[in-house]
Structure 1
Amino acid sequence: MFLLLGTTGVCFGQGAIVSSAGPVHRGMGGASTAAPISALGALYWNPATISGMEHGELEVGMDLLFTQHRVDSTFGPFSGSTEAEPGTFPIPNIGWVHHLENSPVSLGLSVNAVAGFKTNVQSDPTNPVMSPQPTGLGRVSSEASFLQIAPVISYALTDRISIGGGPVITSGQVGLEPFVFGSANSDSTYSSGRSSRYHWGGGLQAGVYFIPNEDWRFGASFKSPSWMEEFEFYGEDETGAPRELSAHIDLPMILSLGTAYAGFDKWLLAVDLRYIDYANADGFGDPATYDATGRLNGLDWSSVMAVAFGAQRAIGDRAFIRGGYSYNQNPVRESESFYNVATPLIYEHTLSVGGSYKLNEMLALNIAYSHFFENSRTGPIVMPGVGAIPGSSVTNEMSADVLSFGILMRQ
């Protein structure tokens, strides 16, 4: 028989991490470690930069994610292709920054959907991998949402350097079908798994922001892993009787470095470099091997580097236009395509555009659009106890688009 591959809904952006927060930040391609031009962008990658913002503000944004996902497979003389129907996934973001009067202290609070995904690939008897259990996977459905609440304090040591940080509180819910992070049923099928409740965890973040002169800015930040409690799932055995399932899933550590240049009239240029440590995050970095019961231990993702470029230009006194590009290494190797059918956001290249219009000195409207260029991973079908099947293949292909809009209210 086919053993079902690892399916998880925890894949949403830069690998598994949403790369930007809100339309202003998205328009800059996610570059903000040294370019605090909005509350959400400043809070998302470097808490120290809120000291460098000209005004306190409240920013509210909503991203709408549209994905296109296809699964192709070949097994002996049989081959087929199946399109997913994931629908539209909303990603809300709220950021607030306040400068205490006559004080070097600035306060911030962000509420971000930092990770989330939904896919739904119907059972397809003409596609070997998607054929009904236990021959193949059957229907693959995954849905996940990770929300972070991050209170921040930043302290301006001088006019040129500030430090900041705070705790990060994370809440997550995951649904997986089939649930191969648990043992197989006695008939070699796998249960579905829906987390019994929202699960909680946390970590911390810290950063530094340096302004050597009027033209240049530099920043660096650290986000610890989000250590989550063990996820518990409701499932059922081959008779329909209830089963209790579990999995360990943490979000990875992230290191960011950034610089920004404002020496050209009406222009701001920004570059970020990031390291995302998937290899040491539970669930993502655990080896993609099966135990004697058919349970998959992990996805064996690699740690990756990512780079983001952003540019903003003022148009008169009220409008701004932005453009950005980001590239990230792919955490999924070709040989692991079989284990990642339900983690299809394997993109590498993204282009973004955006703009803002100030209705008055207090209120601005923001919009942005990102296109994640199509990418694919192809590898063999892998059976437990047997290994890779010669002549077999599984290909995941994906592309995505994000429309982001919101408002910014200055204090």
Structure 2
Amino acid sequence: MNKKLVATAVSTALFAWAHNAHATNGDQMFAMSAAQAGMGGATVAQAQDAATVLVNPAGMADLGIKDVRMDLGFGLLNPPREVNGQESDSNWYMMPTGAAVFNVNDRLFLGMGLGGVSGMGVNVPDHLVGMANNQVIATTKAVFRFSPAAAYKVNDALTLGASLNIANQSMALTMPAFSLPQNQQFGFGATLGAIYKINPKLQAGLSYASKTDIAKMEYNTLNGPVSFDMDMPASLALGLSFKPMPGLQVEFDVKRIYFSDVMNRISVSNPGGTAGIPPALAFGWDDQTVYAIGVKKDMGPMAVSVGYNYGKSPIGREDVNANLGSTAIVEHHLSFGLARKFSDKVSGSFAYTHAFENDMTASVGPANTIKINQNQYNVNISYAF
């Protein structure tokens, strides 16, 4: 079997393992709850629910809660995708989310949130049709993040917030050349946020999430250990929220995700010379700028929202052959949300997001093609007292 094709297959498999198409901005979820998804992820300046802990912790002080607010929910993701016309056999994933915010006093708020931010898996029966036999890839990955957080109202206009991001990354991989069993590692990062009320109708939000430094994934093989770093990227987001009239909110966000720092080239340690493992994974991801806009209208106990989210794929055509297992190339997303208050304490929300189909064919080397679209459904229930 051609050694170059073997190296390509292994790089592809490892990438599929690490960055499966369960997210929408590259490999990052743009919303952690139904309320956030309904706004197209435009929630940096105006918190929509307790899940703001996972986006901009300063938003905890902007929820108008008396004592405590809790939000629980889950998402169902359906991302049909193809590699060279071969469909993935795993097309449904569940993503749980939970968050709580506590009003300590007029100025101090504490909170915590947990959610899946990356992973799940692929199951492609034959992703390199030109190679001998069926080149099966079966992978699982899950990255969950737990974030304890605090927010402090400096004055009536300015609120500052911070969270500690604790990530748990779980991975497993099976392919024709070798198999790496389930393994888990922890990682740490932080998020700093601020919200400033310019006037009663306009406010700005800022959020910076540091790189989540995850410990090396280490595996023992018959020839010795194999290890590599797979971290989560840093990001910087700025948002403006405008309320032109009572009950109507419009928000526009811009976010920069620094993929090139963690997904340009990843060195692989293989001192025992395990066959098929390349010395580095040259994925070539670019940084991504994301634009999101959301509009929400309150109508008595009901609220409706619509959102649009766009980010150019961090994978270019020149890097398709190094990313055959990713398919994380969706760019345009349209979302619709509904919320209803059932009582003074209980409310629920639902959102549907569609990521429009995008395909990309390699411009360098073999003309391999990847294709994907996404459908995502989020449901949440909130309790405040």
Q: 2:369 aligns with which of 354, 370, 395?
A: 395
One-letter code aligned to 2:202? W
1:117 maps to 2:127: no
Rounded Cα–Cα distance in structure 2 between residues aligned with 1:166 and 1:290: 32
Q: Distance in 1 between matches of 2:313 and 2:227?
A: 27
Q: 2:250 & 2:371 partners in 1: Cα distance?
A: 33
Superposed counterparts of 1:218-297, under 5 Å: 218-233=204-219, 244-281=225-262, 284-286=263-265, 295=278, 297=280
Q: Distance in 2 between matches of 1:338 and 1:296?
A: 17
Structure 2 stretches lacking a partner, 5+ long: none
Q: Confirm or deny that 1:15 pairs with 2:26.
A: yes
Q: Aligned runs of 1:20-59 on 2, under 5 Å?
A: 20-40=31-51, 42-55=52-65, 56-59=68-71
* Deviation (angstroms), 1:195: 3.5
Confirm or deny: 8 A CA contact 2:72 2:99 kept in the other structure. Answer: yes
SS in 2 for 1:306: strand
Residue type of the partner of 1:89?
Y
1:404 to 375, 378, 382: 378
C-alpha contact 1:232 1:245 (8 A) present in aligned 2: yes
- Give me the whole-angstrom Cα distance separating, in 2, the residues matched to 1:193 and 1:173: 12
Question: C-alpha distance in 1, partners of 2:323/2:140?
Answer: 14
Query: Which of these residues, 74, 88, 93, is aligned with residue 89 of structure 1?
Result: 93
**2:369 alignment partner AA:** T
- Name stretches of at least 5 consecutive residues in structure 1 with no aligned partner: 73-80, 179-188, 236-240, 381-387
Residue of structure 2 in register with 1:100 after alignment = 104
Aligned AA (1:112): G
Q: Which segment drifts farther, 287-296 or 331-340?
A: 287-296
Aligned counterparts of 1:117 and 1:401: Cα–Cα separation in 2: 15
Q: Name the amino acid aligned to 1:191.
A: F
TM-score (norm 1): 0.84
Residue of structure 1 aligned with 2:177, choices 190, 195, 220: 190
Distance 1:396 1:91, change over 3 A: same
Cα distance in structure 2, aligned partners of 1:294 and 1:319: 55
Q: 1:158 to 1:96 in 2, by over 3 A?
A: same
* Deviation (angstroms), 1:87: 2.9
| CA-CA distance at 1:146 after TM superposition | 0.5
Are the structure 2 counterparts of residues 149 and 124 from structure 1 closer, same or farther at C-alpha, using a change threshold of 3 Å?
Answer: closer
Residues 1:373 and 2:369 aligned together: no
1:355 aligns with 2:338: yes
Q: Which among 130, 136, 145 is matched to residue 128 of structure 1?
A: 130
Tell me how far 1:86 sits from its aligned partner. 1.3
- Counterpart of 2:308 in structure 1: which amino acid? Y
Give the aligned CA root-mean-square deviation in angstroms.
2.2
Q: Distance in 2 between matches of 1:202 and 1:21?
A: 19
Count of equivalent residues: 367
Q: 2:167 aligns with which of 164, 167, 170?
A: 170
Q: What per-residue deviation string (whole Å, max 9, x for no partner) do you get for residues 154-208 of structure 1?
A: 1100011010102110101122344xxxxxxxxxx73122333x21010111111
The match for 2:321 among 322, 331, 338 is: 338
Q: 1:320 aligns with which of 276, 300, 303?
A: 303
Distance in 1, matches of 2:195 and 2:111, equals 15
1:308 has 2:311 as partner? no
Shift of 1:46: 1.0
Letter in 2 for 1:261: F
Superposed displacement of residue 366, structure 1:
1.0
Residue 190 (structure 2) pairs with residue 204 (structure 1): yes
Change (3 A) 1:21 1:218: same
How far did residue 57 of structure 1 move? Answer: 1.0
Query: Quick one: percent identity of the two aligned structures?
Result: 20
Instruction: Write the letter of the residue equivalent to 1:45.
Output: V
Alpha-carbon offset, residue 141 of structure 1: 2.1
Q: Do the aligned partners of residues 309 and 288 (structure 1) sit closer, same or farther apart at CA in structure 2, a change above 3 Å counting?
A: farther
Contact 2:228–2:268 (8 Å) recurs in 1: no
The one-letter amino acid of 2:215's match is: E
1:70 deviation in Å? Answer: 1.1
Compared with structure 1, are the counterparts of its residues 251 and 47 closer, same or farther at alpha carbon in structure 2 (3 Å cutoff)?
A: same
SS at match of 1:128: coil
Structure number, greater radius of gyration: 1
Offset, 1:345: 2.3
